[in-house]
Structure 1
Amino acid sequence: MAPPARIRLGAASPGTAATTAETLAQLAQITRRAAVKGIDVLLLPEAYIGGYPSGTAFGCVMGSRSREGRDEYLRYFQSAVDLGDSVGEGGAGAGAAWLRRELGGPGDATPPRASLDGSPDAKTRGDGTREQLELIARQTGVLVVTGCIEKAGGSMYCAVVYVCPRLGVIGKRRKVMPTGTERLVWAQGSPATLRAVTTIIRGVRINLAAAICWENYMPLVRQSLYAQNINLYLAPTADGRDTWLPLMRTAAIEGRCFVVTANMCVRKPTATHPAANVTHDSSNGDAVDELPDPDHFGSGNRRSSCVTEEGFEIALPSPPPPPPPPQQQQQQPRRPASQTKRRQSVFDEDGNEIVLCGDGPKAQRLSVANGHQPAASASSDTKFVSRGGSAIVSPFGEVLAGPQWEDDEGIIYADVDFDDCIRGRLDLDTAGSYSRNDSFKFSVEGLDLTPLPY
């Protein structure tokens, strides 16, 4: 009997770029780099497309809203993407009808575009973002899962979309419970959108589903995913606190599944990058015909921000570096992004992260207990609004890659054997016999919990 194929899981921690068009181009560049590394499934952070409005209250206090806050909300709404879906009952969208492109009529927002097989598709709806993501996945061969801010009707939803290189979009879900002041701008999605999806990669059936940020702290949300017999649990997030990685390890052990989490790494301003007012650009550009040069979108094009004392997010444009003197222009070719040094680390048997500083066998090792990174491992001048923390965890709670701290350009990955999910069921099957389903009854409104096959 041939050994099962190993699947390469990956995650990255990029920050949202200054415009939606730039973010989509940046996503294409990251996905191309992931393909070069042989990654099969790539996870990107919560709200990556559209942006996470950290630090702003949109001019709202109890009983009052400001004109400036309404204008800021308008800009944020304009930067959200229209995937051509409807609001649906309780924020469920149109479900299978949207997936099959069966919606039409007044919702059409763009002229007909070419479908994935090149034939005209008169039923295309939305602003073209769906088609752009499908093209990126198809051209790279990577299954892309990304967070996005989706607008439908007059509402915005924090969403996750699953994009298969063979079939296009195979699923989308909307955050069931926005946390705290997220509720000012994000509507509640229906629990019906917690539906897992399935695909086959290298002959291995993968059942995957996502819980978004603090949904992962909701035990019943986690159980609704376990009950569908998933073996890949995805957790795009905006939480980079010390409590996050232990939660991911818990989910992996509970569900006996691989867990991948991704969080943005966003830098604070420096003296060389003065602050500017927040702006949102609703332009998504035309559908991608070919992927951009992988070196074109570097850290200089990533959106960075800080929060003022008044609680407003400040977006920081990153101007290109000055050109070299004329006599050096032919002598100093641009350094490829692939040669940029990355922080490297491993985990010892006690679960402590070992940070490798320097190059070669004499690299200095710094022990970091419980995933904390020492200040010495980053530039003393570098500050972060969000430090990232993307990671990959095994069904036995082992951290296989990451956490990816203070790195907005790198990609982490791990080669995994999905049979480990079955091996883990020997002693724990949270949604099967171990759940004592003869005594405890669990159901989710609008969601079929029939287990997917392996």
Structure 2
Amino acid sequence: MGSGKTEKIATTIASPVLFSKEGTIEKVISMTKEAANGGARLIVFPETFVPGYPWWIWMGINNNKKLELFKRQFENSLEIRSSEMDYIRNTAKKNEIMIALGFVEKDGSTLYNSQTLIDESGNIVINRRKLMPTGEERTIWGMGDATSLRVCDTSLGKIGMLICYEHSMPLSRYALYSLGEQIHIAMWPGANFRSQPRDRKKIIDIAMRNMTFEGQVYTVYSSSCVGEEELKFYLDLDPNNQSILDEGGGISGIVDPISNYVAGPIEDKEQIIYAEINLDAIVGVKHMIDCVGHYARPDIFQLNVFSRKHQPVKFVHSFEASVEKEAIVESKNETECASVEE
């Protein structure tokens, strides 16, 4: 379970260079180098940091304008196999640091709300897609499948990830716990809604501390903040609806397995924070509550996760060949983590 070794990790609040893949990636590179120089072995960035969260989908703008903005997002989205992603991977390798990045992923003609975990050797060890886009997000992003519920055994420990309101899906959380998750990475879009009756920061704080209590894990979470230029864009986009966003927003922190903050929470302004973690801290908590071990009742409750990847078209040359191919795919999905093939 624990290694007895203390490790330093980092998380961020950061504002994207809106609709600029290149500009935001340069921020990723700069903040990654700063964290590595600060001794961190992992840095976490916000949800859809590249090329920025599309707050415009919630503003009720006309369809023509929405399509124009969608095209801009599409043009600035990242492909897994691309020179831009290679640039980020090489930065992780050169600085010997793991990078957890939220980005809009382009796959063919469909976009996804995705997370990637790059190890200190520059390998992509997890790439996952949000299982269920929330509300208006469904008008621009596709859905992930069960192959996105993965935990990877890294040099830091067993790491899993979820995005935003996926944390309201108890079965998704439980699936990660069952895979032995020790460090949970969470990404959120941070914003101040002037007219929204609920406190988004409080919701995030509660969800993150619950994650640690429920799963007995370290939780490292990051959200974005709305910068001056981004705010100006939204005010210019719809000057009659100036109450939707305010500058700042966002909350980030690192929470230990007994739900105490070991770094943060920080709010509103772009910054990096650090914490030292030791996986041995999990052992004492698991002694009391292990929700997938001695504190579980599989004789009463069971969760089935259909982990096969579903494709819209399957070419079958023969029944025997189809069965053999599916067996190979299932065997591959059972591995804890694997680098994305070049």
Q: Does the 8 A contact of 1:58 with 1:72 survive in 2?
A: no
Q: What TM-score, normalized to structure 1?
A: 0.62
Q: RMSD between aligned alpha carbons?
A: 2.8
Partner SS for 1:29: helix
Q: CA 1:67 to 1:243, structure 2 compared with 1: closer, same or farther past 3 Å?
A: closer
Q: Does the 8 A contact of 1:429 with 1:435 survive in 2?
A: yes
Q: What TM-score, normalized to structure 2?
A: 0.81
- CA distance, structure 2, for counterparts of residue 199 and residue 165 of structure 1: 9
1:231 and 2:182 are equivalent in the alignment: yes
- CA distance, structure 2, for counterparts of residue 167 and residue 275 of structure 1: 36
Deviations 1:170-190 (A, max 9, x none): 110000011111111111111
Q: 2:65 aligns with which of 62, 65, 68?
A: 68
Which residue does the alignment assign to 2:193?
Answer: none
Structure 1 segments of 4+ aligned residues over 4 angstroms from their partners: 57-60, 309-314, 447-452
* Alpha-carbon distance, 1:259 to partner: 0.2
Deviations 1:330-375 (A, max 9, x none): xxxxxxxxxxxxxxxxxxxxxxxxxxxxxxxxxxxxxxxxxxxxxx
Q: Does the 8 A contact of 1:59 with 1:70 survive in 2?
A: no
Q: Does the 8 A contact of 1:384 with 1:406 survive in 2?
A: no
- CA distance, structure 1, for counterparts of residue 334 and residue 283 of structure 2: 18
- CA distance, structure 2, for counterparts of residue 72 and residue 307 of structure 1: 11
Give 1:445's aligned amino acid.
F
| Pairing of 1:40-439 with structure 2 (within 5 A) | 40-57=41-58, 66-84=63-81, 127-201=82-156, 206-239=157-190, 240-268=200-228, 275=232, 308-309=238-239, 384-408=246-270, 410-439=271-300
Q: CA 1:36 to 1:443, structure 2 compared with 1: closer, same or farther past 3 Å?
A: same
Which residue does the alignment assign to 2:28?
Answer: 27
- CA distance, structure 2, for counterparts of residue 54 and residue 24 of structure 1: 20
Q: CA 1:223 to 1:66, structure 2 compared with 1: closer, same or farther past 3 Å?
A: same
Deviations 1:427-449 (A, max 9, x none): 11111221211221112111689
Query: Quick check: which has more Rg, 1 or 2?
Result: 1
Q: Does the 8 A contact of 2:45 with 2:102 survive in 1?
A: yes
Count of residues in Structure 1 that have an aligned counterpart in Structure 2: 303
Give 1:197's aligned amino acid.
C
Larger % of helix: which? 2
Q: CA 1:24 to 1:274, structure 2 compared with 1: closer, same or farther past 3 Å?
A: closer
Q: CA 1:274 to 1:213, structure 2 compared with 1: closer, same or farther past 3 Å?
A: closer
Q: CA 1:306 to 1:257, structure 2 compared with 1: closer, same or farther past 3 Å?
A: farther
* Alpha-carbon distance, 1:191 to partner: 2.0
Deviations 1:35-91 (A, max 9, x none): 11101111100000121011435867xxxx63222222111111111113xxxxxxx
- CA distance, structure 1, for counterparts of residue 169 and residue 49 of structure 2: 22
Which residue does the alignment assign to 1:10?
Answer: 10
Q: CA 1:432 to 1:307, structure 2 compared with 1: closer, same or farther past 3 Å?
A: farther
- CA distance, structure 2, for counterparts of residue 306 and residue 264 of structure 1: 21
- CA distance, structure 1, for counterparts of residue 113 and residue 242 of structure 2: 20
- CA distance, structure 2, for counterparts of residue 445 and residue 309 of structure 1: 47
- CA distance, structure 1, for counterparts of residue 143 and residue 241 of structure 2: 24
* Alpha-carbon distance, 1:208 to partner: 0.5
Q: Which runs of 5+ in 1 are unaligned?
A: 85-126, 279-304, 315-382
Q: Which runs of 5+ in 2 are unaligned?
A: 191-199, 309-329, 337-342
Q: 2:304 aligns with which of 443, 448, 453?
A: 443
Give 2:212's aligned amino acid.
A
Identity %: 24
Q: Does the 8 A contact of 2:90 with 2:122 survive in 1?
A: no
* Alpha-carbon distance, 1:385 to partner: 3.7
Q: Does the 8 A contact of 1:130 with 1:169 survive in 2?
A: no
- CA distance, structure 2, for counterparts of residue 77 and residue 266 of structure 1: 21
Partner SS for 1:165: coil
- CA distance, structure 1, for counterparts of residue 148 and residue 32 of structure 2: 25
- CA distance, structure 2, for counterparts of residue 70 and residue 183 of structure 1: 14
Q: Does the 8 A contact of 1:83 with 1:150 survive in 2?
A: yes
Q: Does the 8 A contact of 1:42 with 1:145 survive in 2?
A: yes
Give 1:427's aligned amino acid.
M
